[in-house]
Amino acid sequence: MDKFSFLEITACIGIFVILFLALFLLTVKTKHKLGNRLFAFFLIGNAIDALKFLMREFPVNYINLEAFRWSFVYLVPALFYLYALSVCYSNFRLKKKHVLHAIPFVAYNLYLMWGIYFVDRPSKIQFINGMNDMPLMQFFQFLFEFMFQVYFIASFLVIRKSKTVYLQNYTNPNISVLNALHKITILYYFLHFIVLVRWLVTFIFGSGEIRVWVVTLDGFAFLICTCWYLFIALNNPEFFRGVNSQLKVIEEIIPKQKSSPIVDDEKNRQIESLKDFMIKNEPYLDSSLTIQDLAEQVKMPVKDLSALINLYMNKHFFDFINEYRIEKAKEILKDSSQKDLTILEILYQVGFNSKSSFSTSFKKHTGKTPTEFRKNSF
């Protein structure tokens, strides 16, 4: 089997898997339809781009279709960015302003209309043979690379902000979902990096043996990434559970402190009052508790409560609440009258809704797993 046959087989498998996953996302019944569809269209865009691996020579009988295929790369980075927004923010909706992301795609196709779509075949071929030396084509190539970098950075910033908002406002954040999205983003950039290497090799060495090996690596990486997308989807069935986009990180609503904030008598009184309320009323037993809920219960503005916990107590809301849950779990685990309760029953009883997050938090605070702690308590 030569390198091209291997590339064709690899590409066919990758395209089949990616289209199968896209079909599933478009047809599955779920309340997260927008996120599923954006991811599906992103995958379809990648599949269309991957058709290049199946071409042994330029399709002279389908020049218009091939040229239109080139234009899809101007949509894919924007689709990924919108997909990241849909994962990170539960109330994200497409608006008219998002159509602006399609401007480069439309502009490139307008350029192709003049050079390829509406001219005869000899003119098409002449245009294609010389287009790499055309200033406007070089501009579009630069535009694509600039767009990719901007969308990539924007996606990372969205994920990072969403993580912070989760920790500052929720008690059971699905950080694993954001971590998975972070990995997908890195993998997506890795694929693009191989494309950059291919362009560089072509520019320096031409279409020789080295470029063939790089293209083969590109095709194999496409298959690996496709399988990784499928793996992520199967391991995160609730992948689309984001935060409210109206929530902001504490640093955006509280003036930045030049040094650590001073805890005066008034703040100490508020902190002690909050701790007493947590012990007496046990609001942390509610697994869906948010900082807004707690603010209503203690009759304090959300902004003030967030500042009290995140700045003056130097804790994320997530850690603040889970400390009380862990203490409650420790009481139950040490209680001989409740030794028949399973670990799963205990974690639900104290407000957790995930065994992994409970085990992680418990070991972080005690240095032991719940099972080890229970054995050492009797």
So where are the chain's domains?
Answer: 3-235, 261-315, 316-378
| Residue pointed to by tokens 């992948």 | 239
Write down the pLDDT at residue 233. 64
298: confidence class by pLDDT, cuts 50, 70, 90? very high
How confident is the model over 270-298, as a mean pLDDT? Answer: 90
Say yes or no to pLDDT of 344 above 60: yes
Say yes or no to pLDDT of 258 above 60: no
51: confidence class by pLDDT, cuts 50, 70, 90? confident
Q: Name every residue whose Cβ is closer than 8 Å to that of residue 18 and which is 6 or more positions away in sequence.
A: 43, 44, 46, 47, 50, 226, 229
Buried/exposed code over 178-201 (b: 16+ C-beta within 10 A; e: otherwise): bebbbebbebbeeebebbeebeeb
244: confidence class by pLDDT, cuts 50, 70, 90? low
Query: Which residue did the predictor score with more confidence, 339 or 143?
Result: 143
Superfamily of domain 316-378: Homeodomain-like (1.10.10.60)
Write down the pLDDT at residue 100. 95
Q: Residue 161: which of 91, 253, 88 has the closest Cα?
A: 88
pLDDT in tens, 133-161: 899 998 998 999 899 999 999 999 998 88
Superfamily of domain 3-235: Rhodopsin 7-helix transmembrane proteins (1.20.1070.10)
Write down the pLDDT at residue 136. 92
Write down the pLDDT at residue 175. 66
Q: Report whether 48 contacts 72 (CB < 8 A).
A: yes
pLDDT in tens, 60-75: 889 999 999 999 999 9
pLDDT in tens, 160-171: 888 887 777 777
Write down the pLDDT at residue 240. 43
Question: What are the CA-CA distances from residue 84 to residues 39, 60, 96, 147, 183 (Å)?
Answer: 9, 37, 18, 16, 12
Residue 290 β-bridge partners: 170
Task: Classify burial at 256, counting beta carbons within 10 Å of its beta carbon; exposed 0-12, middle 13-18, buried 19 or more.
Answer: exposed
pLDDT in tens, 201-240: 777 776 666 766 776 777 777 777 777 766 766 665 555 4
Write down the pLDDT at residue 259. 45
